[in-house]
Structure 1
Amino acid sequence: MASEHKPGYTHFGYEQVPVHEKRARVAGVFTSVARRYDLMNDLMSLGIHRLWKRFVIDLAGVRPGERVLDVAGGTGDLVREFARAVGPQGLAVLSDINAMMLGEGRRRLLDRGIVGVPLVQADAEKLPFAEGSFDCITIGFGLRNVTDKDAALRSMRACLKPGGRLLVLEFSKPLNSALSKVYDEYSFKVLPLMGRLVANDEASYRYLAESIRMHPDQATLKRMMEEAGLARVQVYNLTGGIVAVHRGFRLE
């Protein structure tokens, strides 16, 4: 769970940095890992991240003709499925703050024969869409990298139509202390080693491990979503709470 930080500062992993500096440092991490992002996800999660994302896709319940936004969508694996679900009468939009990640997303969508998905370089804290634009918004493994999570939640809520839903897929707090110990060992010893051997970038993967620990736990994120104006917030723990999906609705 995230701890307090000095006024004007925020967390970059375990380090406290000036608020204005975090965005550039996070951008550096994802520019560095973009080309090997999906490969590293497969290695780090033993492929389980695909099941977590499948759960989100099913829970979103996207229907033909709907308008869907995937925030911090990176390489496009969620928006790819949403584009198929909404069909030619709907709209699926991929957004990310990082140009390199968007480029990878575009390439991977085209490799799978998916065209016509708008790509928008956008900050989750200040989404450039009109009030009530979307039936469904998702953010998968992106919220923990946002500087002002409350602002991002408010921005996403504003972009939902009344009755629309927001789904947040993110690493969370394991429910079992024994699992938590094993997970810590894996995160702080194996992940940086993988980063060094596979991506030649130990520091970025150490940051990713630390950023997970600084992210709010399940109950805290649920409260944050409610304070941002979302209702009927439900929490779904996956893989013993290593990952959680939060779903909330804009009622009016």
Structure 2
Amino acid sequence: MADQHKNDTTHFGYEDVRTEDKVNRVADVFHSVAGKYDLMNDLMSGGVHRLWKRITIEQSGVRTGNTILDIAGGTGDLTMRFSRLVGPSGKVVLADINDSMLKVGRDKLLDKGVTGNVEFVQANAECLPFPDNTFDVITIAFGLRNVTDKDAALRSMARVLKPGGKLMVLEFSKTDNPLLTKAYDFYSFNILPQMGSMIAGDADSYRYLAESIRMHPDQETLKSMMQDAGLTNCKFQNMTGGIVALHTGIKP
């Protein structure tokens, strides 16, 4: 059975790779880009990623004393805001599978004086190392598309949510505007790798990121996957013409 699983394949962007190899391939991407991640996010989105994240924060309903899990939290943009909202009586766990991203995030938050109520955990979203019913809110921003088994990850997130807790998935998605799609494709596959090469010294990683967006489930599919994971009241909100969508679901 184990040998059979080794022959399973999945997609790494547009490339088919062995399932067991994808985690390492994705890790290599983020080891490569970690140091320039924040700068590239600002350049790639024209700063709009800050608006997408602000909307996520505003709709989270996070209050003083809450316990928050920020999965694929990377360089800590959401964690920093959540830390202020939950206050000294709350806690925010910044989790990322990639130790390079986690180190950049930890250093950035320490530099900004964000300490005390933040914990850093290296963790795989598919098998989160937390007890059942732990968190009031879980966010995963621009991370789900890099997860090999998305269904397993969603089930894992649902497991560690408290009853009544909210999962929020902020991710690149699909636009149904043909003109916008054409412009976005040109930008993603022509401009983006060049920017990656000039700024981060790595065109291939940004080419993978563009491809991974195209391979990610569309809005309705992801909504169904969240429902299948046991969440209720699942819905999504398109932003920037559907280039990004914010999915939410509640643990019954």
Same fold (TM over 0.5): yes
Residue identity matched to 1:245? L
Residue identity matched to 2:178? S
Give the superposition deviation at 1:148: 0.2
Give the superposition deviation at 1:175: 2.6
CA distance in 1, matches of 2:79, 2:133: 19
Aligned partner of 1:34 in structure 2 is: 34
* 2:184 pairs with 1:163: no
Aligned partner of 2:217 in structure 1 is: 216
RMSD, aligned CA: 1.0
- 5 Å-filtered alignment, 1:28-107, equals 28-107=28-107
Residue identity matched to 2:58? D
| Cα deviation code 1:158-205 (max 9, x no counterpart) | 000000000000000013111001000000000000001111100000
Give the superposition deviation at 1:214: 0.2
CA distance in 1, matches of 2:231, 2:182: 33
* 2:182 pairs with 1:181: yes
CA distance in 2, matches of 1:156, 1:207: 25
CA distance in 2, matches of 1:97, 1:155: 14
Say which SS state the counterpart of residue 16 (structure 2) adopts.
strand
Give the superposition deviation at 1:61: 1.3
Aligned partner of 1:136 in structure 2 is: 137
TM superposition score normalised by structure 2 = 0.96
CA distance in 2, matches of 1:152, 1:35: 26
Residue identity matched to 2:141? G
Give the superposition deviation at 1:62: 0.3
CA distance in 2, matches of 1:149, 1:68: 20
Aligned partner of 1:4 in structure 2 is: none
Residue identity matched to 1:91? K
* 2:113 pairs with 1:113: yes
Residue identity matched to 1:102? L
Aligned partner of 1:3 in structure 2 is: none
CA distance in 2, matches of 1:219, 1:72: 22
Residue identity matched to 1:94? L
CA distance in 1, matches of 2:79, 2:132: 21
Say which SS state the counterpart of residue 131 (structure 1) adopts.
coil
Say which SS state the counterpart of residue 130 (structure 1) adopts.
coil
| Cα deviation code 1:6-64 (max 9, x no counterpart) | x7100100000000000000000000000000100000000000000001000101000
CA distance in 2, matches of 1:175, 1:130: 40
| Residue ranges of structure 1 left out of the alignment (5+ in a row) | 1-6
Aligned length: 246
CA distance in 2, matches of 1:80, 1:158: 25
Say which SS state the counterpart of residue 57 (structure 1) adopts.
helix
Aligned partner of 2:4 in structure 1 is: none
CA distance in 1, matches of 2:244, 2:112: 27
Aligned partner of 2:173 in structure 1 is: 172
Aligned partner of 1:18 in structure 2 is: 18
CA distance in 1, matches of 2:69, 2:79: 8
| Structure 1 runs (4+) greater than 3 angstroms displaced | none
CA distance in 1, matches of 2:177, 2:236: 17
Residue identity matched to 2:232? A
Residue identity matched to 1:152? A
Aligned partner of 2:123 in structure 1 is: 122
Aligned partner of 2:205 in structure 1 is: 204
Give the superposition deviation at 1:83: 0.7
Residue identity matched to 2:145? R
TM superposition score normalised by structure 1 = 0.96
Say which SS state the counterpart of residue 118 (structure 1) adopts.
strand
Residue identity matched to 1:214? M
